[in-house]
Amino acid sequence: MTSLICGSLAYDSIMQFGGRFSEALLADQLHKINVAFLVPEMRREFGGCAGNIAYNLKLLNGDPLIMATIGNDGGSYLERLDRLQITRRCVRTIDTSYTAQAFITTDVNGNQITAFHPGAMTFSHENKVADAGPVKLAIVAPDGRDGMLQHAVDCVDLDIPFIFDPGQGLPMFNGSELVHFIELATYVAVNDYEAELLTGRTELSLDQVARRVSALIVTRGDKGAEIFANGQRYEIPCVTAEAVVDPTGCGDAFRAGLMYGITQGMDWETTGRLASLMGSIKIAQQGGQNHAPSRQEIEDRFHKAFGYRF
C-alpha cells in the first residue's frame, strides 16, 4: 500500500541554546530585535518533512514514496535513501540550486527558532503526482508554495485521498487559499499553534473545519492530540517518552503513524495512539532520523502503553 509523501528533503543544522528564549527576548523591544544565542552544540542532520515521514513510515514496514526536489549538493541524501531502501524515483534533482536547509535553534524548554532556505524546494511544482503510479494515500506536507497547491489539485484529479499538513508552510497562504486546501483535502493535520493560525486566517472554527473533511487531527505536544472524525472527538493521550531530548521531527513521526493507521484501516483511536507513540519514540533521540527501533519493538511498546496490539 504505497503512501505518497509530497514535501521537502532538507539538511537540518540543529543548534542547542542553553538558556530560554523568553529570557533573551524583551517583550517591549520586539520591534528592534538584535540578539545572538550562544550555541556550543551543533549537528547537521538529514531532515525535511518528506524525508522524516518516509523514514518513520519505513520503520513501521510501510511503503513510502517521496515526491520532492533536491539540490546539487543532495548526493549524500540520495545515497542515504538507497541505504534505507526508500525509493527515490520521484525525487527530482535541481542542478542550479542547493538542497533546502533549515537552521534550527532549540532552547532548554524545547522551543525552537528556525531559519529556512528553500533552495530546490522552490521547484517542487515540477513534480507531478500522476508520475507516482498507484497510490493508496498521499500527504501534502510543507514544500514549495506552488508545489503544495499543485499536488493537492493533482490528488483530487486522480481520486487519491490526502492529508493536508501545512506545518511551517502555513503562513505562505492566505485565508481563501487555506479554505481551498481544506475543501480539497480528505484529512487535515496541524499542531495547536497551527490550528490557531488556520482558524484565524480562514475564519472557520475547528468544528467547521472538521465538518469539511473526514478527519481533523490537532496535536498538542505533551497534552496528546485530538481527532475530530465521524462527528466525534477522540482524545489521544501522550505516550511517556524514555527521554525528552529533541522535538525536531516529532510531528513528522506522528504523521507517519497517521498514514500507516489510515492505510491499514485502523480505527481512529488506534491510529492516533500509534501516531502518538511514534512521536514519543522520536523525541528521545537527536535529529529527525536517528531513532531506529525495530517493528517488533514498536509493537511491544504500543502493547505496553495501551494494553493491546495494533
Query: What digits encode the pLDDT tens for the residues 126-181?
Result: 999 999 999 999 999 999 999 999 999 999 999 999 999 999 899 999 999 999 99
- What's the start-to-end Cα distance of the chain, in Å? 17
Please choose, from the candidates 249, 84, 93, the residue with its C-alpha nearest in 3D space to the C-alpha of residue 167: 249
* Strands annotated E in 95-174: 100-106, 112-117, 137-140, 162-164
pLDDT for 250: 96
Cα(9)–Cα(47) distance, rounded to whole angstroms? 6
pLDDT for 23: 83
pLDDT in tens, 170-207: 999 999 999 999 999 999 999 999 999 999 999 999 99
Please choose, from the candidates 221, 161, 223, the residue with its C-alpha nearest in 3D space to the C-alpha of residue 190: 221
Show the cell assigned to 111: 522551543
pLDDT in tens, 51-66: 999 999 999 999 999 9
Please determine, for residue 104, whether its predicted confidence score (pLDDT) is greater than 90: no
Mean pLDDT of the chain: 95
* Averaged pLDDT, 284-307: 96
Please determine, for residue 38, whether its predicted confidence score (pLDDT) is greater than 80: yes
Instruction: Please tell me which residue, 30 or 269, carries the higher pLDDT value.
Output: 269
pLDDT in tens, 247-287: 889 999 999 999 999 999 999 999 999 999 999 999 999 88
Please choose, from the candidates 291, 292, 286, the residue with its C-alpha nearest in 3D space to the C-alpha of residue 13: 286
Cα(187)–Cα(103) distance, rounded to whole angstroms? 29
Cα(18)–Cα(25) distance, rounded to whole angstroms? 14
Cα(305)–Cα(21) distance, rounded to whole angstroms? 33
Cα(174)–Cα(180) distance, rounded to whole angstroms? 10
Please determine, for residue 29, whether its predicted confidence score (pLDDT) is greater than 70: no
* Averaged pLDDT, 42-50: 92
Q: Scan for cell 524583551, then name that residue.
A: 26
* DSSP for residue 107: -
Please determine, for residue 26, whether its predicted confidence score (pLDDT) is greater than 90: no
Amino acid at 92: R
> In the chain, pLDDT over 70 holds for what percent of residues?
98
Q: Which residues contact 180 (CB under 8 A, 6 or more apart)?
A: none
pLDDT for 30: 67
Structural domains of the chain ordered from first start: 2-17+43-305 (3.40.1190.20)
Show the DSSP H helices in the chain as ranges.
21-24, 49-59, 75-84, 145-157, 175-184, 192-202, 206-212, 250-263, 268-283, 295-306
CA 30-34-36 angle, to 5 degrees, is 120
Q: What is the largest CA-CA distance in the chain?
A: 54
Instruction: Please tell me which residue, 199 or 26, carries the higher pLDDT value.
Output: 199
Stretch (H or E) spanning 188:
strand 187-191
Instruction: Please tell me which residue, 78 or 110, carries the higher pLDDT value.
Output: 78
Of 3-17, 32-46, 76-90, which gets the smallest average pLDDT? 32-46
Cα(215)–Cα(218) distance, rounded to whole angstroms? 10
* Averaged pLDDT, 221-230: 96
Of 27-31, 213-217, 219-223, which gets the smallest average pLDDT? 27-31
